[in-house]
Structure formats: structure tokens, C-alpha cells
Chains A and B, each alone.
Chain A
Amino acid sequence: MSLFIDIPEDKEPLPSLKTGRGKLLWIASTDHKQLGIMYLCLALFFFVIGGLEAMAIRAQLALPDNDLISPELYNQIFTMHGTTMIFLVLMPAMIGLATYLIPLMIGANEMAFPRLNAFSLWMTCLGGMLLYFSFFAGGAPNAGWFNYAPLSENNYSSTNGVDYFLVGLILTGIGSIGAGLNFITTILTLRSPDIKLNMLPLFVWMMLVNAFLMLAAFPLLNAGLFMMLIDRQFDAHFFIPSTGGSAILWQHFFWAFGHPEVYILALPAFGIISEVIPVFSRKPIYGYKFVASSSVAIGLLSYSVWAHHMFSVGLSNAVNGFFAISSMLIGIPTGLKVINWIGTMHKGSISLSIPMLFAIAFLVDFTFGGLSGISFAIVPIDWQLTDTYYLVAHLHYVFLGGSLFGIFAGIYYWFPKISGRMLSPKLGKWHFWLFVLGFNLTFFLQHILGILGMPRRIYTYPDLPYWKVLNIFSSIGAVFMFIGMAIFFWNIYKTLKKPRTAVANPWDAWTLEWSTPSPPELKNFDEIPQVHSRRPLWDLNNPDNPDKKLN
């Protein structure tokens, strides 16, 4: 056990912000738990900003020919909304949960490279700050979150917003690569010696696959971003068709990153759901090997589907056909996972606590979003519906119904571990119902708007039949979500004021993180419990009926 000798800290709690050196001990920290918490705080902070931007968008679109927000500002807001939510909310939230949990789940006391871990966090933070600094430097980026050339090049985008976008994303990209490197090396080298790869908790499995995706996807984005930065700053010609460049190449680069990115945001949520559903059904996951291996299949396939974002560009039937087939294939492993999650509930003993509620909402809404995604793999349907509100609805079903509901389930599930306090289930239920119903109201209607012909990214629209009523109800749904989120933050605030009363294992869960006190001390494990199966704590608490030994 030479692994744990190196860490000198004794039993002491995480530094408190209230003590004299508390703040410094956080800013300078290399502890994975502190960094994980800071990642989550970063995500929540930007979630507020991105959410307010979303509210501004829905306010502007509530009525036809509305002139609440000027078109210039609207374009900045929707660009920043998309960029923020993907790069500064979902990414840090996923990475934060993983940073906090991976060492705890595999019986390690630290990440493999604690300083790299801190570097990753602060790069992400710096990238976010730079991105938002653009508002004070002449104007935010305004070419959409996928920043299509040549609209994003000097001739058509005269403010420095896009430059801030490029530099900001390069920095967060470097941060994500650092996090990915850390996850892989930690999982491969710092596991407790008992734990074999096929005994890893599924969340860790998903993060392992995910880390590989990050390592391969972000360099592609960064290469494209650098080329565009060179275009804009040094007058190169990469993506400017009028001087010999290629606008399509940017799309290839962006989506070769962008589609794996969708799975980078989905896989951790799959992992969270694969932890939550078994615990609250009191049964092990249905088909562990299928869930784990289907993630690998998704990871590999996700690199051969990117051009389904480009079916309307005018590629040949052969190219379109190839990407259509692989895009439909990727639905198979994803569908298998849904079957496995439902199978886990079969003959279980299901208790509907808040994490489980969000897991159920995830099952329903993510399935819906996944199915509407298939309609974009069917090329001719894509030729009608791409870049409409049908697509906006689809992507929100995947990112909110999928990733965000997963994160909510995770936050409610691990909050007692992280803070030592249970979030109020009563307020949690309010949050759940308002947010989930509001979400479905807002975005279900947008499918219909898309079919009626409403393109995405428009700051206003003429008063065509049904457009007004559908948009008003869509905006009303957003208000419900807003109130739900306010309750969520109120819940966190109230809970943090209370004393620490949570027990070590409040959900009677099975993975190693629950063997530590809530919250864990600076050093995670004095001695790790014996691990012989995928559910060490189950074996400990049910000596009469332990799992099959795997080592």
C-alpha cells in the first residue's frame, strides 16, 4: 500500500472559508474535493448567467415582431447562451462531479496529478472570464456557438467578440484536455489494488470513456480555433472562401469535435443515472457489461457521425449515406442503455426520492430527445427540419432532458456527501415538478414550431398562424423553469445554513465514496474497505447475501 504513504495530511476537515487562511487554502488548493466543489460552483455561477440569457431570449420571442431586444444584442445573447451552457456549465459540472468522485469511488486519496487538476480548473475559469470580458470590450461574440465561417471572419464580424470566443474556448479546451488526462491516469494507476477494471462503478467507467473522447475531440476544436484566430489576427485565409479558403472545412473541424462533445456531455449523465437507478431500486444494474461496453461503442461511433450536422450543405449522396448509417447505428447502444435502466427497476423496490425522480425524468425526456435525434439521421427529414425550432427542441431535450437532469440527479444524490447536509426533499419536489413540467412545455411546443417553418436563431418572427400562441406558451414554460431554479438555489442556500447532520451513507448506497464520513476529511481513506465485487458496501452490509466475488 505504498500508494497512501505519500500523503501527509492528518484527519482534518476541508478548509473553511470562514477561517483566516480559508480563502487562500481554496484558491491554492490541489485537493480533488475542493477543486471538484469549485468546478461545481463555477458551473452554477455560469448557469445563472446562461439561464438569464435564456430568459431574455424567451422574453423577446414571446410575441411576434417584438422589439424588446435589438437584433445585435439578441445575436450576442443567443451565442453566449449556447457557448456558456455547453462550455461553462455542462462541462464544468460533469468534470466537477468526476473530479470530486473518481478518487473516492476507486479508493484513492488524490488525483494522479493534483497540480494539473488545479491548472485545469483555473484554465476553464480563465476561459470563461475572457469570454464574458468581451461584453466590456466592444461586444460579445455574435456568430452562434458553432461560429460558422465566413460570418465569423473579419469581413462580417467587426467587433472583437469572436476573438474572445476563440481565445476563451482554446483555454477551456486546454483545461478539458488536462482534466481528461488526469481522469485516465487516475483511473488506470491509482485504483485500490483490489479493484479490477470490470469492477469499476459505472460512473467511473463512463468517465474513462469520456476522458478518451475529450482527449481526441478538443484538439480538433483547438486546431480549428487557432486557424480562425490566425485568420482574424494575421490575415490568413483558412476559412474565407473569397480568398481561396474553405467554409466547409471549418464545419468539418467544428463538428468532428462537436458531435463527440455531445456524447462527452451525455456519457457522465449516463454514468450518474447508472449509479442512481440501482441504488433507489435496491438492485444491481441490469447488464453491467452491456452498459459499460455500449459506452465504448458510443465513444468509437461518435467520431463517425459528425457530418449529420451538415446534411444541408450539399454533400454527395454517398457521403450523406455513410454518415446517415453511422448516425443511426449510434442509436443502438444508446437504446440498449435505456433498456438496461428500465430493466434495473424490474422487480426492484423503488423509492421515489429526488435523485430518482430526476432519473425517471431523464429516462423519459432523454428517450424523447434521442428519438427526435434519429429524425436528423434520416437525411431527407433533416433536409426539411434542420436549423429549425424542431432542432432547437431536440438539442434541448438532449442537453437538458439528458445531461442536466443527470446532473440534477447527481447533485441531489451526492450533496450530503459533498456538504454533509441533506437537501430539503420538499423544496426538491417543487424544483423537480416546476422544472420538468416547464421544460416539457417550453421545448415540446418548439417541435411543432419547427415543423410549421420557424427557423432557429431569429430575433423575431412575423405573426403567422399558430406561431404566436405556441411561442407564448413556450415562454411561459421558461418562467416555470426559472421559478424551479430559484427554488433550487434557495434550497442549497437554506441547506448550507443548517448544521452538518448527514450520515456517512444516507441512501444506503454501495460504492466506496459512501464509506467515508460526510463530508470526507482532507485525506479520503485511512484504510479502504475490502473490495471483492462491484458493490463493496453492499457486501459489508449484507453479509448473508454478498455479490459474486470478482477478484
Chain B
Amino acid sequence: MPNYYFLKITDVDLIEELFVYFLIVASIIFLLVVFFTFFYLFRYGVKKRPERPSQKSGNGNVEYFLATLVTIITGVFVYLTIVTMGKVQTIPENPKPFLEITGHQWWWEAKYPNSGVVTSNQIYIPTGKKLLLKLNSADVIHSWWVPELGRKMDMMPGRDNYMWFYADKEGEYLGACSEFCGVQHARMRIRVTALNPEAFEVWEQQQLMPVATTNSKDFLKGKQLFETKTCTNCHAINGTDFKENIGPNLTHFASRKRFLADMKVNNEKNLRAWLTNPQDVKPGAKMPNFILSESEVDALFAYLNYLK
């Protein structure tokens, strides 16, 4: 059996190939059914044949023949299914995942165990390498699906699932949570950025930098607000005492292009709107409305912008 890892035939290609086979056979069967239905309708219409038709009906041999034929077709697909399944779902004995993703209502937490990088929502992967993902959930069932990069896999609370993930070309790949997970299920989308291995290395190094700090007045004011307004009850900042991960880790928030699980572009307007009233932007989200004054929003906005 050829080793598909080296042939660079991806899981997605395998599944697509199988889908094409299925589509061809299913289309032929469907067209035959439609053809015979309508052919008989026109051929044996009451206007053409008003007389009483012969009442003989049923022919065991025809039925057995067709049943055998259908069984053979089914058998072929059973074989293809089992073979493809074995190629796509192969989890090693002691899985060492490249990336651990945890689903939360309604955002993604991503950990890179090899490098120690922790981020959320904005997920980067290197190209040209088959990556093992570990998936689980912090609350309800979510489902990880980026159609172009791999299969779909549910994220079950209290259970680790593993799957392979592969990007051949650089670029951005879209996906979405595919198991209904509550109010904002629709806004739990995935954007995976595939970088070439060198660029990925650079990104990882950047993510490993300690949290930014300066002595500027607005930074300190924002930092103080961040700590006193109970933001830290949910949000972690690496290198500080605040390690809760109920909400996304914000250590390098300003380096992210989008936020709220790919819902909004990370720019001044959107971020201010979000800080002013989260429930207005994403109703049902876990972040409450803190009823911040305009100057407090300014300060928090400035602080978050330092977290490059």
C-alpha cells in the first residue's frame, strides 16, 4: 500500500475522491429511476392504453437480479469506506499533538505544546507538514471543521479527540464550529492561517515574547482598569498572576487581525463598540456589559493596543 504521507495525497483529497465515486454512481442510479418513472408515465398513460392491463405482476428473478446488483455496488462502497477510513483516522499509540484546541462558548483556545505558545481564535500553522491536532471542549460539544485542511471532528467535553491536519499552500482557510453549541454558534467561526515553516517560526517567537510593558500614562491607567474591572477574572495575560482562561488569552491581543472568533476585524471602531457594550455586538456572549464610561473605554482600548 502506498504511503500517502509522502505522496502528499491529503485526507481531504482522499475524501473528495470517494465523494466523486459516490456522486457518479448515485447520479447514474438516480437518472435511471427518473428515466424509467417518466418513460413508463408516457408510454403507459391511460390515454394510450385505456383498456384493462394484464394483471400479472411481479417477477422474482428480476428482483433477485437487481437485489444482487445493488448488493454488489454496496459491497464496493463498503470496501472503499473501510479503506479510506483507515487512512484518514490513524491515531498513534502515544499521540503527541502539535496543536491542542479547546472549544469554549464561543471562541477557540489554541496551545502549541512544543513551543509553549498559547493563543486564541487566530490560529497559525506551518505548511507542508501533517499536523496532529488534539481537540476537546471546556463546556458543551463543539465541532472543529476546516473543510480544506482536514476532516471534521467533534470536541467532546471530558474526552480528547485527535485528528490530522494538513495545509499544502500558504493562505487563510475558513471553517466553522459545526455542532450546535448555544446562542452564538453561528459566530463561532474558524480562520486558520498557514505560513511557510520559516514565517511560522517567526510568528511563534513573536508569540513567546513577554507581555509588553511601558511606563506611559495611558498604558498604566488601562492596566489598572483591566485589573480592577474584574477583566482578569476571565482573561489571562502571560507573565502575570492572571491565568483564568474563561475568556480568550489577551497577551498578544493587538497582534491579532480579527477577534470574537473571526466575527470582527480588530480595529478601533469594532474594539470600542465591543468594550462599550459586548451584548450589543454579540448578543449572548459571556462578556457582560461593564457600563464603562467613555474615558474608561479609551484607557482599556489604549492598553489592549499595547499588547502586541
State the A residues within 8 Å of B (CB): 70-72, 75, 143-144, 148, 150-151, 155-156, 241-242, 246-248, 281-290, 312-314, 317, 320-321, 324-325, 328-329, 331-332, 335-336, 338-340, 342-352, 360, 363-364, 367-368, 371-372, 374-375, 377-381, 383-384, 386-388, 453, 455-462, 464, 542, 545, 547
Contact = CB atoms under 8 A, between A and B. Distances in A.
Interface stretch (B92-100, B177-185, B245-253, B266-274): B177-185
Contacts of A242: 157-158
Given A143-B180, A156-B105, A283-B57, 16 more contacts: A148-B180, A150-B139, A156-B139, A283-B54, A284-B55, A338-B33, A342-B36, A349-B45, A349-B52, A349-B53, A350-B40, A352-B41, A367-B30, A378-B81, A383-B15, A457-B185
Contact of B53 (A313, A348, A457): A348
A81 B80 CA distance: 37
Interface string B54-81: 1101111011001100110010011011
B58 A286 contact: yes
Contacts of B105: 156
15 contacts: A72-B183, A143-B180, A283-B53, A285-B58, A286-B59, A321-B82, A331-B74, A339-B63, A343-B59, A348-B44, A352-B45, A367-B34, A378-B81, A387-B178, A456-B178
B166 to A, nearest CB: 14
A456 B44 CA distance: 43
B212 interface: no
B176 A312 contact: no
B89 interface: yes
Interface of B: 12, 14-15, 18-19, 22, 26, 29-30, 33-34, 36-37, 40-41, 44-46, 49-55, 57-60, 62-63, 66-67, 70-71, 74, 77-78, 80-82, 84-86, 88-89, 105, 139-141, 143, 145, 147, 151-154, 156-159, 161-162, 174-187, 189, 283-284
A333 B47 CA distance: 33
Contacts of A331: 70, 74
A528 to B, nearest CB: 23
Contacts of B89: 317, 320
A151 B44 contact: no
B156 A151 contact: no
Contacts of B183: 71-72, 75
Nearest to B155: A314
B115 to A, nearest CB: 26
A314 B22 contact: no
Contact of A360 (B14, B41, B59, B179): B41
A383 B139 contact: no
Contacts of B147: 384, 453
A148 B155 CA distance: 13
A444 B106 CA distance: 30
Q: Which of A155, A332, A384 has the most CB of B within 10 A?
A: A384
A346 B152 CA distance: 44
A156 B178 CA distance: 18
Given A241-B157, A380-B84, A386-B152, A290 B63 contact: yes
Contact of B70 (A151, A332, A351, A378): A332
Contacts of B58: 284-290, 343
B87 to A, nearest CB: 9
Contacts of B184: 71
A312 B45 CA distance: 47
B41 A345 contact: yes
Nearest to A321: B82
A314 B154 contact: yes
A381 B15 CA distance: 6
